[in-house]
A and B are shown apart, each in its own frame.
Chain A
Amino acid sequence: QKEVEQDPGPLSVPEGAIVSLNCTYSNSAFQYFMWYRQYSRKGPELLMYTYSSGNKEDGRFTAQVDKSSKYISLFIRDSQPSDSATYLCAMTLNAGNMLTFGGGTRLMVKP
């Protein structure tokens, strides 16, 4: 079993829908959590990062962390076709650079 689990999808939604993406993890020592977006033939792009449990909002994106349940989520409001990409969650034990990634969820937003 992988340390970080993520449903691979694909997840297909109509334009304007609210999207919910999730990851579960097994190592309770993970302290820092991130969401990346990866377009085809590109490297991952950092969307959001957070340390504490709770919600963090940035524009149309909201990241949610529940450390007690070892569960993190990313919500996308008013989804756009340009949001179509693979979304990767990542986490690390300390504030450094050894990230452990989920396998990614492919999202398709249809016009």
Chain B
Amino acid sequence: KAGVTQTPRYLIKTRGQQVTLSCSPISGHRSVSWYQQTPGQGLQFLFEYFSETQRNKGNFPGRFSGRQFSNSRSEMNVSTLELGDSALYLCASSSNGRYSGYTFGSGTRLTVV
């Protein structure tokens, strides 16, 4: 069965712009979580959506937002990009929203110049 699909794989943006990243979960999975991975801070939780509702939110500024659609696909948006937003953004889906059921996508590599 198809895994978690993230698009695009690579993205280059200019400081001050905004960006939208997309995540298609495994079919039947209703929970989608987003993580930011950088060399300095490692993997950090951004937020989780379950059945179109944000269920948890990490410690990131309001420039980072997300949403989930009725088909469970999710998008995250980063406004007013900063150089420090350069990172690998990972999406993970699970059927039950539990820690044991996570499947990660391969991520979107965002570079802010």
Which A residues fall within an 8 A CB radius of B? 2, 32, 34, 41-46, 49, 88, 90, 92, 95-104
Does B31 sit at the interface, judged by CB under 8 A?
Answer: yes
CB distance from B6 to the nearest CB of A (A): 8
Q: Tell me the complex Cα distance, A90–B33, Å.
A: 15
How many inter-chain residue pairs (CB < 8 Å) link A and B? Answer: 65
| Also in contact, A95 and B98, with CB within 8 A (given A41-B106, A43-B107, A44-B104) | yes
Q: Tell me the complex Cα distance, A46–B4, Å.
A: 14
Residue of A nearest to B58 (CB): A98
**Count of interface residues, chain B, beta-carbon cutoff 8 Å:** 25
Residue of A nearest to B100 (CB): A49
CB distance from A57 to the nearest CB of B (A): 17
Does B102 sit at the interface, judged by CB under 8 A?
Answer: yes
| Also in contact, A101 and B106, with CB within 8 A (given A43-B90, A49-B99, A96-B56) | no
Stretch at the interface among B14-22, B40-48, B67-75: B40-48
CB distance from A50 to the nearest CB of B (A): 10
Which chain B residues border A34 with CB–CB below 8 Å?
Answer: 99-100
User: Of residues A2, A32, A46, A92, which shows the largest number of chain B Cβ atoms within 10 Å of its Cβ?
Assistant: A46
